[in-house]
Amino acid sequence: MEEAFSLAYSSELMHNFLQSDILAPEGKFQALQTADGSSLLFSVGTDGAFYVTREVPQTRAGWVRSDASSALLARAFPGKTTRCSDFAAAQHAAGQIHLAMVATDEHDDHLCLSLANSGTDTSWADAPSWTVFAFDDPSHQLSRLKIVNVFLSEASDREYIVVDVLRDPAGSPKLVFRYYIDPAKPGGYAWHPHDLAIDLDATAYASCLGRKSGQQLDGLYTAGQIGGRSQLIYQPLYNPYATTAPPASRFTLPGGRIAESIAACRRTDNTSDLYIASGGTLYYLAASKQQDGAVAVRLFDNQLLSGVRDLFAATTSGGVVVWGLNASNQVFYTTCTGTNPVAGPWSVPVPIVTGAEQISPYLDRANDANTFFCHTGANKLRKMVKSPDTTMWTSRDITLEPPQTTTPARGVSTYTTRVRVNDADGNGVAGVPVTVQASNVAGVYINYLYYTVGPRPVQATTDSDGCITVVEPVETLVGSRLTVTAGSAQLDINPMDKAFKKAAGLDSADTLTAAVITEPDGTTRPFVPAGSDKTDLDAVAEATGALGDAYDGFTTLTASAPRPARPAKHRGRPGHQRRIVVRRRADRRRPARHRPVPAVPGALGAGLDLGFVDTGDLINYLEHEVADEIQVFVDEVTGVYNLVAKIRGQVFQCVLEHLETVVASIAHVFEMIVTFIEDVIKFLQFLFEWDDIARTKDVLHNLIKTCLTYQAGQVDVLRTELDQRIVAAEQVIADWAGHSDWAALGDTAGSSPTAMSGSGPDQSAPGSMLQYHYQNNAQNTTQLGPDPAIAGPGPITAIAEALEREGDTLYAAIDRLVDLGSRLASTPLDQILTELVAILGETVLESSRVVLDASLELISGTVRLALDILDTPVHIPVVSDVLNYFGIPDFSSLDIICWISAIPATLLYKIATQRAPFPDDAQTAYLISTTDWEQLIGRSPQPMLRASAVMTTMPTWQQAMHFVGHFSSGVLTMVASAYAMVETELPDDETNDLARLTTILSAAGAGGTGMAGYVANLIVPVAAIRDENVRYIGVAITGVRQVTKTAGVVLKKKYPWAGPPWNGRQIGFGTLRIRDWRGLMASIDVVNGMVALFPSAWHFKELSEAPDSNERAMAIFDEVSTITAILARIAYAVRVNLPDQYRVSDRVCLGTMVAGNTATGSLQIVEAPMAFF
């Protein structure tokens, strides 16, 4: 039976960060695709190497670049300075990829071929199998071999290879001599001459492989000039029936016009239609009409077709698409959806990119999407994709792995969406397969891995929190609607919704002038420039209102389905139009993003649908060209909304038939009064209000540090006092043994910890941003300062002997506790408590006391200075860049832990209460600055500690402290859990930085036994333990745990286990074998935990005798989370100390770690908002 899931999400337009290296434009490039639709980009680098750059889904950067030539050149041409000067690439209909490379040395060029490479497994790209074909034509001798062009065909029947060389490299004009290459070497040679029927100037011609009807093999279409005369021919590569040259077919254009560029469009039968651009006109020769003397047919005129220097064509599922790059550096395309290109109709082309230098297009086979790579005027190499459903264009960089982990991350605008998969109890479920579909074909990052999403589903897996985080970089307001599916649960998400509704709210001149942009440092500036004309503002406001109506008229379906518009709200007489005109004033022109280009004339030519253009094309045109006027109008009978734009004197019109087009349109309306689209995005994106977050972080940081410092100073006192208290408690346990009546706890007694933990608030996408980056980059943390100077550990003999002597007794209890932990999901609380009482006998407590006394002796000389490790500056990739963006230059391990929890805690608290948890007032200033722990907890004139608190009557700052402390504890427990699972698989040596991170996170989190929850419980105790002796043990044992774990971090770094004082010694601990510092400190933590279980269990006895109340419920949740945290800690210690032969137990420990930490974190998060009830 399929497990039942539910889905919850949060999505925002927000500033986010990506760490990668962006591939810069190179000399020449060509794009193909793999069997699954991933891109392959072939290029010549500025270093003279031939590169293959592969789009690799589910990797961090998304692209991998391989040097495919240097190894060959070094091997094949030793002692020569050889580089790649040119290449060609083609793809067989079955998917195989053929490559040709021209290697150039000081004297000659050399032809290298790599044929029949897999289009599915592209691992060959790291080291292609090349064959060098030396020039071997026995009938022609060349003084130097200079290759001017190489052609590879895409025919399905065989591979055709053509090479053009210079007849005489020293002569003038430089005429072309053509060869057909046969790798099989019939007659003993590969280079077979292919006489041209015309003289061809090597500096002024274009050729492409193809095949006219009635031919058995490919030929070459060639357009060029010699002596100023235009020539256009087709000639088969060779004569299959004779040794003479095959006859050529000569073509002409009407009026003797000169062909500027040509493209062959291969059909399924291997024949090719020919498209020709000349002087603003597109011409056509069908494969069946290419007889000698044929005259090309005119299709249509358009100024974009003037001076075309590159032309491409391909068949689509319903027609043909033709791409071009003209002399004005504009990229355009046009499509014919009919079966007869002469009859049309052809779409109206508009510039998709301006300032382009090169393009390489194809039709994406994964999503049937119009795709091209482009070297843009901004000196970037971009991949442009047109989404077939929404018609919107998306653009993305080619991103590679950064050269080093410290490479700064780039700040980018994104739609960031966090989706959580919950089980029946409301808990996040890790490792669940999730499918994602999108309305646009776009490059996104899901859980830090790159995917191309679109109508075709992709699959990701939930992280340790049961979440997927989808980050879509955007440069406009348009994002992709998502459909997320897990099991039978499905969720449709519109990430644009909040941003658009905020934009649509600017529906009056007053709201426009009142709007402000807030910078990261908190400063503000007007959204609309001062002095804006009210008439202009009124027009923009009316247009935004109309677009808001259009937006509301869309019905949310699945991400991959079109969204038809509903009838408009306002109805009038048939054909009546509500029209809003927004004009750009001359003094409000924004700077052009690329250099100016010639205007596109208004006269469109025959065969075109006058005035109407593809919606996505017009919107993309508006991204890089200035509109003089924008109109939004709606036919109030049909409810159809239209966008009209006047650009460089020409009027374009399109229908807003998709939600994405409405979102894009509102941005362009704002651009009529706002200079930069970046300002529109900045105004609409999520506002963190960082000052509020910073105060929360500072409070949390100071209270944790102050508490730790105090506890470190009490170690010597605790050695005596805690020892005596535990002795006294042994008698209490003797009197308490056998207690099993927990019914008075109410309904919670019959619920398992897992079932109790699923009702807490989930984090938002902005709230989890820093945690998301930390979880994916903390393994590359770099410490920026020296370790604190500390003394060596205390006597090691005492702790070793204590563990070995008490090991059997303690391990018997540990084994039972691990078994109990493995049943957390199914065992009700009353049974857990009954088993705990049975396990925690006098003997266990006595043995634990002995080990604890020895452990305190071990760390007593180091603990004070060891705390300095928490304030040592560190650098964490991406995380450092996020904090730098908000004005935080340096931070420590303790800082980042507090930042991770302060962000979501502050945001959720403000949602719940409409106020910041710690306002900018005197009370907050005191909490941030005090270093006197005794004063803080009430041993001074400022009493803050009571035996018990009533949440409804306590001051708001104490409610905030309760919420922030417990929520932080929950978040940090979840983060630590994710790392602990990985860290335990690694050896405990200098390469395992995760062990240090896990230790510090665990010390800060881990339920009520972690610093965040511990501090909250001390400052704001709720239904606290009434027995003074037991309460002391609970408070003291937790304090001992924090300082012991912190000291262990430093001792491990300063005194490696292999050296003195341990010298690689193994310590027996029951069945376990302690072999390193990690194992030792984990074992001490286990013993600490077993002592801590006693006050928790005792507290339940007191709570069962207390009346039902919200305070009692909070205390129950807190103590359950303490128990689950300790069970997870015990499982961790067993796992890192378990002998290799006990693998079954290892899996049980791993399951207990996951279950225990998940329950702990969730229970703390559930407890946090109970302060408001």
859 within a domain of the structure (yes/no): yes
Q: Over the range 431-466, which residues count as b (16 or more CB within 10 Å of their CB) and which as e?
A: ebebebbbbbbbbbbbbbbbbbbbbbbbebebbbbb
pLDDT tens string 638-670: 788 999 999 888 899 999 989 999 999 999 999
638 and 776 in a common domain? no
| H helices present in 155-258, as ranges | none
Quote the longest CA-to-CA distance of the chain: 113
- Peptide bond between residue 173 and the one before it cis (omega within 30 degrees of 0): yes
User: Count of alpha carbons within 13 Å of 865, Cβ hemisphere only?
Assistant: 15
Confidence of residue 675 (pLDDT cuts 50, 70, 90): confident
784 and 704 in a common domain? yes
| Helix, strand, coil abundance in the chain, percent, nearest 5 | 35, 25, 40
- The CA–CA distances, whole Å, from 822 to 676, 753, 985, 1148 equal 57, 12, 19, 6
pLDDT winner (highest mean) among 96-110, 212-226, 966-980:
96-110
Task: Confirm if 116 and 102 have CB atoms less than 8 A apart.
Answer: no
522 and 450 in a common domain? no
Indicate whether 719 pLDDT > 50: yes
List Cβ neighbours of 534 (8 Å cut-off, separation of 6 or more): 509
- If phi > 0 it is left, if psi is from -120 to 50 it is alpha, else beta; for residue 68 that is alpha
What's the pLDDT score for residue 588?
Answer: 47
254 within a domain of the structure (yes/no): no
What's the pLDDT score for residue 1163?
Answer: 92
331 within a domain of the structure (yes/no): no
d(CA 961, CA 903): 14
Task: Answer with the one of 684, 713, 735 that is the final residue of a domain.
Answer: 684
Over pLDDT 70: what percentage of the chain?
90
- The CA–CA distances, whole Å, from 1168 to 927, 956, 965, 1016, 1020 equal 19, 14, 8, 10, 12
The domain tally of the chain equals 3
Confidence of residue 942 (pLDDT cuts 50, 70, 90): very low
pLDDT tens string 758-768: 767 788 999 99
As beta bridge partners, residue 54 has 40, 64
Q: Which helix (H) or strand (E) holds 846?
A: helix 842-859
d(CA 1035, CA 717): 14
What's the pLDDT score for residue 566?
Answer: 38
828 and 804 in a common domain? yes
Q: Which helix (H) or strand (E) holds 433?
A: strand 433-438
547 and 447 in a common domain? no
Q: Which helix (H) or strand (E) holds 885?
A: helix 879-885
d(CA 161, CA 166): 17
Over pLDDT 90: what percentage of the chain?
58
Strands 219-226 and 205-210: antiparallel
900 within a domain of the structure (yes/no): yes
What's the pLDDT score for residue 606?
Answer: 36
DSSP 28-41: EEEEEE-TTS-EEE
299 within a domain of the structure (yes/no): no
The pair of three-digit structure tokens given for residue 326, joined into one six-digit string = 């003209």
How far, in whole angstroms, is CA 1092 from its chain's centroid? 41
Strand order in the sheet with 358-364: 358-364, 369-375, 381-386, 393-397
519 and 461 in a common domain? no
1148 and 1073 in a common domain? yes
Q: Using DSSP, state whether 651 is helix, strand or coil.
A: strand
Instruction: State the SS3 of 583-621.
Output: ECCHHHCCCCCCCCCCCCCCCCCCCECCCECCHHHHHHH
167 within a domain of the structure (yes/no): no
144 within a domain of the structure (yes/no): no
Rg of the chain taking only CA atoms, in angstroms: 36
Query: Average pLDDT of 900-919?
Result: 94
Confidence of residue 1006 (pLDDT cuts 50, 70, 90): low
Q: Name residue, tokens 């009434």.
A: 1026
Confidence of residue 567 (pLDDT cuts 50, 70, 90): very low
List Cβ neighbours of 531 (8 Å cut-off, separation of 6 or more): none
Query: Average pLDDT of 681-686?
Result: 95
494 by Cβ neighbours in 10 Å (0-12 / 13-18 / 19+) ranks as: buried
715 and 594 in a common domain? no
Confidence of residue 579 (pLDDT cuts 50, 70, 90): low
889 and 843 in a common domain? yes
Domain that holds residue 766: 690-1172
Indicate whether 197 pLDDT > 80: no
d(CA 584, CA 602): 20
1162 and 1052 in a common domain? yes
231 within a domain of the structure (yes/no): no
Neighbours of 484 (CB within 10 A): 24
Query: Average pLDDT of 371-378?
Result: 89
d(CA 437, CA 454): 5
Indicate whether 279 pLDDT > 80: yes
pLDDT tens string 784-838: 877 766 666 666 888 999 999 999 999 999 999 999 999 998 999 999 999 998 8
pLDDT tens string 503-526: 999 999 999 999 999 988 889 999
1032 and 925 in a common domain? yes
Task: Answer with the one of 645, 666, 684 that is the final residue of a domain.
Answer: 684
What's the pLDDT score for residue 590?
Answer: 47
Task: Answer with the one of 471, 495, 519 that is the final residue of a domain.
Answer: 495
DSSP 968-1007: HHHHHHHHHHHHHHHHTTS-SSTT-HHHHHHHHHHHH-SG
pLDDT tens string 1079-1092: 999 999 999 999 99
The pair of three-digit structure tokens given for residue 550, joined into one six-digit string = 């259009």
The beta-strand segments (E) located in 203-254 are 205-210, 219-226, 229-236, 249-250
pLDDT tens string 332-351: 999 999 889 999 899 999 99
887 and 912 in a common domain? yes
In CATH, what number is assigned to the domain containing residue 477? 2.60.40.10
What's the pLDDT score for residue 598?
Answer: 36
The least confident of 248-252, 515-519, 531-535, 1053-1057 is 1053-1057
What's the pLDDT score for residue 994?
Answer: 64
- Quote the mean pLDDT of the chain: 87
List Cβ neighbours of 123 (8 Å cut-off, separation of 6 or more): none
Strand order in the sheet with 629-635: 577-583, 629-635, 640-647, 650-655
Confidence of residue 738 (pLDDT cuts 50, 70, 90): low
